[in-house]
Amino acid sequence: MSNTISPVEHAYWVVVPAAGSGKRMGAEKPKQYLSLAGKPLIAHTLENILGWPGLSGIVVAIAADDPEFQTLSAAQDPRVHTVTGGAERADSVLAALEYLSQQAGPETIVLVHDAARPLVSQKDIQSLLSASPIALLAQQASDTIKQSQCDGSKTLVSQTLPRDQIWLAQTPQKSPLQVLQQALKFGLEHNPQAITDEASALELAGHKPELVAACRSNFKITHPADLVLAEALLQHRQTLEQLQSGAEQ
């Protein structure tokens, strides 16, 4: 029996929030435009997505004063659309979903994927597409997890949490378009501080997203050391491919 997935059955759109300023990176420009193995970080992310089977299109949310997006070769692909992002990540995602709702039906499957995660594997995308309609890539915690409390100038352990039940949320996060749009609108209106990813908005709306275990290469480039690590992995493609095939997890 063939495992081939029909592209029509699994047609989906990808939303890429890319309107952040990358404060934690502390660089002279937003982190998505920093050079990674010879081209901007976001070019790796978009070229990766453009190779996913069954892709209908990508909506990228960029900053109003974005100076570079149109210079990317991926930006010339007719499947790539842009909108102006907002003050917070959720505002950028919502702007992209509003644009998408003019192009596609309410049941359309949407994968929201951070511009700052260039190394997600196609194997993980296939797993996510095959999972429940509301699902996300995530990684089970490998360190022991401590909850903290402040005591004057010190941070103390208040308790150790059961590690088996702790997962670190990644992207893509998957949902039908209208379900996500309504959940984000509701979440931003009622509890904006709690909406740090799509799943948190969907949880607030009563859904229980499925956790799909992802490869360790799908880390988010946040601090300067993450860029060095991504560069090293890209220079050792064979190691990266072994990691992504599950051989080194």
| Residues at the interface with ligand CTP (CB under 6 A) | 17-24, 31-32, 61, 85-89, 92, 114-116, 220, 222
Place of tokens 């909850």: 147
- Token code pair at residue 122: 């196609």
Cis check: omega of the bond before 209, within 30 degrees of 0 = no
**Closer Cβ to ligand CTP, 31 or 44, answer by number:** 31
**Closer Cβ to ligand CTP, 40 or 85, answer by number:** 85
Q: How far is the CB of 19 from ligand CTP (least distance, A)?
A: 4
Residue of this chain nearest to ligand CTP (CB atom): 20
Q: How far is the CB of 6 from ligand CTP (least distance, A)?
A: 30
Contact 219, 119 (CB under 8 A): yes
Contact 60, 114 (CB under 8 A): no
Q: How far is the CB of 36 from ligand CTP (least distance, A)?
A: 13
SS3 72: coil
Q: How far is the CB of 118 from ligand CTP (least distance, A)?
A: 10
**Closer Cβ to ligand CTP, 88 or 203, answer by number:** 88
- 176 to each of 1, 66, 111, 133, 221, how far by Cα in Å? 29, 29, 9, 7, 27
- Token code pair at residue 206: 């009563």
**Closer Cβ to ligand CTP, 55 or 61, answer by number:** 61
